[in-house]
Amino acid sequence: MEIKKEHAFGLWPSLVTAADASQKIRLEDVQFNSTDSTILWVEGRSGTGVLVRQSPGDARRELTGPLLSVRGGIGYGGGEFSTHGGDIYFAEKSGLLYRMNLESGHPVPITPAYGAFADPQVSPDGQWVLSVFSDGKTDLLSLIDSQGHEWPIQLVKGSDFYMSPRWHPAGKFIAWIEWDHPNMPWDGTKLMLGRLEGSPPHLVDWHSVAGDVDQSVYQPEFSSDGRYLSYIVSNGEWEDLVLLELQTGDTRVLVEGDGFHLCEPAWVQGIRSYGWSYDNHEILYIRNHGGLASLWQVNIENGETSQLETSPYTWLTQISVSRHAKEAAFLASAPGIPSRVVRWDAEGLHTVAYSDLERLPDGYYSVPVPLEWTVEDGSTVYGTYYPPANPDYTSDGLPPAILYIHGGPTSIQPVTFSAERLFFTSRGYAWLDVNYRGSSGYGRTYLQSLRHRWGEADVEDAATAANALIENRLADPNKLIIRGGSAGGYTVLNALIHHPGVFKAGLCLYGVSNLFTLVQDTHKFELHYNDSMVGELPEAAGKYHAWSPVFHAAKIQDALAVFQGAVDRIVPPAQSEEIVNAVRGRGIPLLYKIYEGEGHGFRKAETLTDYYHEVERFLQQFVLFAP
């Protein structure tokens, strides 16, 4: 056994370069073809979405080139493509919806250049595409001639938002999700069922099947025999998987959530967490609790459930179930396994596609350790700790630690792979994913515990997370770093303000600094998010001022690095510029980088490579080598 070399924490030589960590390939969605066992997926490559297919026994084939970017253009994206009868329909970054034959076709736009589309669903007869449409102000369900000869039709409008349109296999009914401001989709939505007539089809009647302003419904799906409409609905702390028998109108709970979730918060279009088997005898679904996912199946007739083996993966998303055989495909990962496209069948798991960083020795992947701590009101807060990991180096004492604050804030950092985490743990940093109050994955009460307390409870949880690391002797108390993006960046700034000296440095990526201007400038999807997270204006103006970092920047004493995308529509550059201008000139170590062509979340390889270089140098100067 080779003896490890002694070297200072944070300075370990690593095989993981900044270019490696920039993740040249990101796997973003996967689906089965509608007519056979061909698997299709989207690869994000330096900001460009590329469609790829692989048929059984054949080599992979790229369907789109660099001139088109497959990217859902509504809100945060998602819902990029679907297939029907040998054709694929996909949303392009420009907002156009395209059709292309899978074997020999050239992409052809079927919509005009106006607004954006997501989650295209083709009618059983192949004549129409039902899709979510938005121009940024008005959202609706659009009906599009699949050949692109006619102008799109406004089929359903009137609500603020739409999601998950689905066709009944007979083509006479459709289902969809809708909701209105000030709700977010995890607060309350409605599942609608409508009947169609005529050519072109139009709705003659429709009604709500489930959900309300205080109850969320997700992912409606029709069984292929047309007997059932299934959906996931919130019920107390968790969610249930429900079957509606269309002929009788009877409903029954098929899977009752009990200590686990059946869905993720719908931040994007096209999220799938279950699917019907090809023979309608079972539903395959994903369970999630505390950021750990598992695959299960339930029998439709007797409700018996059983777990399907998916080891060594700890996180599963975007399940697609074949319509022709008992098999499923999904994106799978683990702390030591970058995201893969994986196919499951009776023989087990089969890797279809890899992303990046699969060539490192095992000793480079840190083994996660769950961590819990208690805050002042007695609540338990959750996190996952990753110690430094490098097969060649070790060090005495305690390591510097990066506390990672996820965005959202209604989100979670699951137990999964992170290239950024790997970059730093392989250099001798510890890492803590903080799933502060308000995170998903721990029940509805925990998710809602940040309501009217954003800027307060999340900041307390970050500060007490630092104390938990110190008390458990997991990190050097003088070398703690807090890092967050978007809502997480907002927490970073407030933590530096309200807990000066706890963190040696803060890393803020496209973070919120002014709650007042955020309400005025952000996109439609989150226009009223602050109503529930902070409070409604003007009544809550005092909270907006107290919890907006820009008004208290004089209290920041610790080193600060700010990174921003120049074309960010969600947290505009003015948010970063305000806090930078408020801190600049006060003698505090400050780094500000704005990246041209980047939006909300960095995608270009050159941007990410520069980001890793800049952060490493910044932390060496102001944390590792600081007095």
Q: Locate the domains of the chain by residue range.
A: 5-18+359-624, 272-355
| pLDDT recorded at residue 1 | 57
3-state secondary structure 18-38: HHHHCCCCEEEEEEECCCCCC
Read off the DSSP letter of residue 513: -
**Phi, psi torsion values for 155, nearest 5 degrees:** -85, -45
* pLDDT recorded at residue 70: 94
pLDDT at position 358: 77
- Which pTM value belongs to this model? 0.96
What pLDDT is recorded for position 203? Answer: 96
Residue owning tokens 């080891």: 311
What pLDDT does residue 356 have? 76
Smallest CA-to-CA distance from 614 within 594, 585, 598 is with 594
Looking at residue 3, its pLDDT comes to 87
Give one word for 336, left, alpha or beta, with left for phi > 0 and alpha for psi -120 to 50: alpha
Task: Write phi, then psi, for 370 (nearest 5 degrees).
Answer: -65, 140
- pLDDT at position 357 is 66
Residue 24: the pLDDT is 75
- Integer Cα distance of 566 and 120 in angstroms: 30
Homologous superfamily in CATH for domain 5-18+359-624: Alpha/Beta hydrolase fold, catalytic domain (3.40.50.1820)
pLDDT along the chain (627 residues), means of 10: 88 94 89 94 92 91 91 91 95 95 90 95 97 96 95 96 98 97 97 96 96 97 97 97 97 96 96 97 97 98 96 98 96 96 95 85 93 96 98 96 98 96 98 98 97 97 98 98 98 98 98 95 93 96 97 97 96 96 94 96 93 98 95
- What's the pLDDT score for residue 125? 96
Q: What is the pLDDT, as a whole number, of residue 117?
A: 96
- Residue 455's CB is within 10 A of a number of other CB atoms, namely 26
- Which one, of 233, 192, 179, lies nearest residue 444 by Cα? 233
* Predicted local confidence at residue 65, as pLDDT: 85
Specify the 3-state DSSP secondary structure of 176. Answer: strand
The DSSP symbol for 530 reads H
